[in-house]
């Protein structure tokens, strides 16, 4: 059998340094906080999360709700309710469970997206600090 030769690749840690900017003394604490805590990355993640939430909400409202509504015998899931008190043919007091179920579906879809993004991109490994050698 032929022996396999394996090439050893040295891993290098990439360090990104932010430029040194002259800031007033009263703003120095805030600037160091932003640099040390990764606030910019948090802000970008928040903006992307809010944008993806609107897409998921639209998906649930326009695709999932009508399908479940037809199964339940209505034109939309958000229109489903339980009538507590009625005056003649009108329902004066009702529990609108359809919108709650719709929001619950949106929550589980967003939770699944976040879970798979973190696991596939291995972002959970970035939070663990490496022991210094």
Residue 84, in any domain of the structure: yes
Give the pLDDT confidence of 19-65 residue by residue, as tens digits: 666 777 777 777 777 777 777 777 777 888 888 888 898 998 888 88
The domain tally of the chain equals 1
Residue 119, in any domain of the structure: yes
Give the pLDDT confidence of 12-21 residue by residue, as tens digits: 666 666 666 6
The pLDDT of residue 119 is above 70: yes
Residue 111, in any domain of the structure: yes
Give the pLDDT confidence of 60-110 residue by residue, as tens digits: 888 888 888 888 777 777 778 888 888 888 888 888 888 888 889 988 998
pLDDT at 51: 85
Q: What is the CA radius of gyration of the chain?
A: 26
pLDDT at 69: 80
Residue 79, in any domain of the structure: yes
Residue 70, in any domain of the structure: yes
Domain range spanning residue 91? 53-125
The pLDDT of residue 124 is above 60: no
Is 0.85 topped by the overall pTM?
no
Judging by DSSP bridges, how do beta strands 90-95 and 82-87 pair with one another? antiparallel
pLDDT at 16: 67
pLDDT at 53: 86
Residue 22, in any domain of the structure: no
Among residues 120, 100, 96, the alpha carbon closest in space to that of 108 is found at: 100
Residue 95, in any domain of the structure: yes
Degrees, nearest 5: CA angle 123-64-97: 100
Beta strand segments in the chain, E: 82-87, 90-95
Residue 106, in any domain of the structure: yes
Contact yes or no for 91/83 (Cβ under 8 A): yes
Dist CA 67 CA 78 (whole Å): 11
């Amino acid at each position: 059998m032929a022996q396999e030769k394996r090439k050893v690749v040295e891993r290098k840690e990439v360090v990104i340094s932010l430029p040194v900017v002259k800031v007033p003394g009263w703003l120095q604490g805030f600037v160091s906080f932003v640099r040390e805590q990764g606030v910019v990355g948090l802000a970008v993640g928040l903006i992307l999360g809010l944008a993806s939430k609107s897409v998921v909400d639209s998906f649930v409202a326009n695709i999932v709700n009508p399908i479940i509504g037809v199964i339940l015998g209505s034109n939309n899931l958000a229109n489903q309710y339980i009538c507590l008190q009625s005056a003649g043919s009108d329902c004066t007091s009702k529990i609108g469970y359809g919108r709650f179920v719709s929001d619950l579906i949106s929550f589980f879809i967003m939770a699944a997206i976040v879970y798979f993004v973190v696991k596939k991109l291995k972002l959970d490994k970035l939070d663990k600090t490496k022991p210094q050698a």
